[in-house]
């Protein structure tokens, strides 16, 4: 199992026309946890991997988590996004992270890319905050 960071910029990224804020993701975790997300590259994600949602502002932090439901696939709609991945938000862990997010400085992120692997030294803190 691999753990991935998925970067969301609420001022640029949307989820079905809604801003991709931690509040939106928190609500979706309760109401509609299955998501279809775009990827700029085909990462080596596998079914069962975890995806941690990092929000760039107003606070740079991880505040949600999902299970990856299947491997990334080519987006048939065109090259703008390239790839798609199906995930399911984990309701209780997302609620825990929403209330106590993991700030950027605790993640030891270097250059922020759209998707990257979680640093091994940051994983215990993420798991603890999410109650996993």
Mean pLDDT of 11-39: 86
Place 78 in a pLDDT band, splitting at 50, 70 and 90: low
Note whether 35 and 89 are within 8 A (CB): yes
Mean pLDDT of 106-111: 81
The DSSP line for 54-116 is: EE-SSS-EEEEEEEE-S--EE-TT-TTT-EEEEEEE-HHHHHHHHHS-EEHHHHT--S--SEE
Q: What's the token pair of residue 69?
A: 């439901």
More confident residue, 79 or 39: 39
Instruction: Enter the pTM of the model.
Output: 0.91
> What is the predicted pLDDT for the residue at 81?
64
For all residues of the chain together, what is the average pLDDT? Answer: 88
Contacts of 9 (CB under 8 A, 6+ apart): 20, 56, 57
Q: What's the token pair of residue 41?
A: 């590259």
């Amino acid at each position: 199992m691999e753990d991935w960071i998925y970067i969301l910029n609420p001022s640029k990224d949307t989820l079905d026309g809604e801003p991709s804020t931690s509040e939106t993701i928190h609500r979706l975790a309760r109401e509609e946890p299955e998501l279809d997300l775009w990827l700029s590259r085909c990462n080596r994600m596998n079914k069962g991997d975890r995806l941690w949602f990092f929000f760039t502002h107003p606070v740079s932090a991880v505040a949600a988590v999902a299970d990856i439901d299947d491997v990334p696939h080519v987006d048939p709609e065109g090259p703008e996004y390239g790839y798609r991945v199906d995930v399911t938000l984990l309701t209780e862990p997302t609620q825990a992270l929403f209330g106590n997010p993991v700030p950027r400085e605790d993640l030891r992120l270097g250059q922020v890319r759209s998707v990257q692997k979680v640093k091994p030294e940051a994983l215990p803190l993420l798991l603890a905050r999410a109650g996993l």
